[in-house]
Amino acid sequence: MNRYILYFFSLIFISTLIFGNFFTQIPVAKAAQELENAQADRARLESELTNLESEIAQKQKDLSGQKGQSVSLSRDISILTTQIKKAKLDIKAKGLVIKKLGGEIVDKNKKITALNTRIDNIRESLAQLIRKDREIENNSILALVLSGNTISDAYGDIDAFSSIKKDIKKSVDEINGVKTMTEEEKSVLEQKKNQEVDTQVQLENAKKQVEISEADKQKLLSISHNKEIEYQKLLDEKAKRRAEILSMLFNLRDVSAIPFEKALEYAKIAESTLGIRPAFLLAILTQESNLGTDQGSCYVTNMDTGSGISSKSGKAFLNVMKPNRDVKPFFDITTSVGRDPYKTLVSCPIGGSGYGGAMGPAQFIPSTWQLLKNRIASTLGIKTPDPWYAKDAFIASALYLTDLGAKEGSYTSERNAACKYYSGRKCDTKKPTNFTYGDSVMKKAANIQTKYIDPLQN
């Protein structure tokens, strides 16, 4: 093969790389200009945010000072007025954050598109080079040498062949590098999208809080200063509601219900030691209890096969508990806390298929509880944790949710943790049941926060 042919194809390849990258740079250059404009816009938004955050901090300072005053009608009106102003500033700030994130998401999408275009161009050039490389390889090095007019020509042909090999490696390395950049950009994009969802949820919650505070303020304003008796009546109603919340029973799966005051106490222990939001933890346990109502509860009657019966209907199940995974741990757990394994409730199989065997309020299967029991004991400072004791179950759930990422406290991190708690995977629109569970937990958490926890703090 003539060396000039090899040089010709090498030239084609090099030209393809040069011009391919040139045309790739056209959308990249356009994106760069748009990015520069977006950065200027973001700088303006960030300046506005800084000013708003300063105002919000001042309102919080005012609010703390007002709460330190003695209880009076004017004091409570002032507090509500400040709360409303602070919340409205917060709403404005959240709106700016969402706008800023929206611009960043657009930028990331454009950058990913440009990177994908670059990969396609390099691949096309690489394909041409590989095809030519295979053609050359069909001729042996000896034939290459013999085909040359001179020894010098032959060496030139070999050099060109070696150059093509190097160019192939360079192209492959470049593709791998661009792929890595693309994956990194995609990861950042997902984070930005999650932040946008989280901020939107916070914004909606802030708007609802303003509505509640406005209603409370109007109620106070309707009371004349000459009618302190009416104001005292309002205070009495709030105190009554507080007492009702504290005494309300919090239903738990497979054990007796406990007062909400006690449930909140356990949830706050979990918050202080593990960083899990109380409303979210209570929502998870409420969801599990509701599911428990629908599923029924079972007893294991055979410690070899894991078969058992429903405590409600008497229906027999062959698959109450997975024998080679959970039966022995279940026997060990129950006997270690002084319970009769044959008279201790566990979950029945859902729909009669798969396995049941989940224990207590937090609905842990025995093998999972065994993995967590030392951490539960260490967190609570006890020797042997009990899955059917509410406090131990609360801490067990909080530990598991921490491992699943709920400690971040954002809406998306909590929702994904709930989905993983239920199915082992994060929320996925392709799996409606999984996603429904996560959404249901988050709705319950919002309800618990606004209806039961917030009234106790005001």
pLDDT, one tens digit for every residue, the chain (458 residues): 444 444 444 444 444 444 444 444 445 455 455 545 555 666 776 777 677 677 777 767 776 776 666 667 777 778 778 878 888 878 887 787 787 777 778 777 887 888 788 777 777 777 776 776 666 665 554 455 445 444 444 444 455 556 666 666 776 777 777 777 778 877 877 777 887 788 788 778 888 888 888 888 787 777 755 566 666 777 778 788 888 888 888 888 888 889 999 999 999 999 999 999 999 999 999 988 765 454 568 999 999 999 999 998 899 999 999 999 999 999 999 999 999 999 999 999 877 678 999 999 999 999 999 999 999 999 999 999 999 999 999 999 999 999 999 988 899 999 999 999 988 888 876 666 667 889 999 999 999 999 999 888 76
Residue with tokens 């930005």: 192
Q: Same domain, yes or no, for 208 and 333?
A: no
Q: Same domain, yes or no, for 71 and 170?
A: yes
Q: For the full predicted model, state whether its pTM sits above 0.85.
A: no
Write out the residue range of the structural domain in which residue 99 sits. 3-221
Whether the CB-CB separation of 377 and 399 falls below 8 Å is answered with no
Which DSSP category does 321 fall into? S
226: in domain = no
242: in domain = no
38: in domain = yes
Q: Same domain, yes or no, for 441 and 358?
A: yes
362 φ/ψ angles, rounded to the nearest 5 degrees: -90, -10
Q: Same domain, yes or no, for 122 and 217?
A: yes
Q: Same domain, yes or no, for 97 and 143?
A: yes
Which DSSP category does 350 fall into? G
Give the end of a domain, one of 176, 206, 221: 221
Q: Same domain, yes or no, for 112 and 37?
A: yes
Q: Provide the number of structural domains found in the chain.
A: 2
Whether the CB-CB separation of 144 and 1 falls below 8 Å is answered with yes
| Cross-sheet strand order for the sheet of 346-347 | 316-317, 308-310, 297-300, 346-347
In angstroms, the Cα distances linking 68 to 61, 75, 149, 311 are: 11, 10, 100, 54
269 contact partners, CB below 8 Å, separation of at least 6: 391, 394, 395
Q: Same domain, yes or no, for 260 and 189?
A: no
Q: What angle do CA 89, 94, 95 make, to 5 degrees?
A: 95
Tokens for 102? 């929206």
Q: Same domain, yes or no, for 202 and 331?
A: no
Residue with tokens 């937090």: 362
Helix axes 151-221, 3-67, angle to 10 degrees: 20
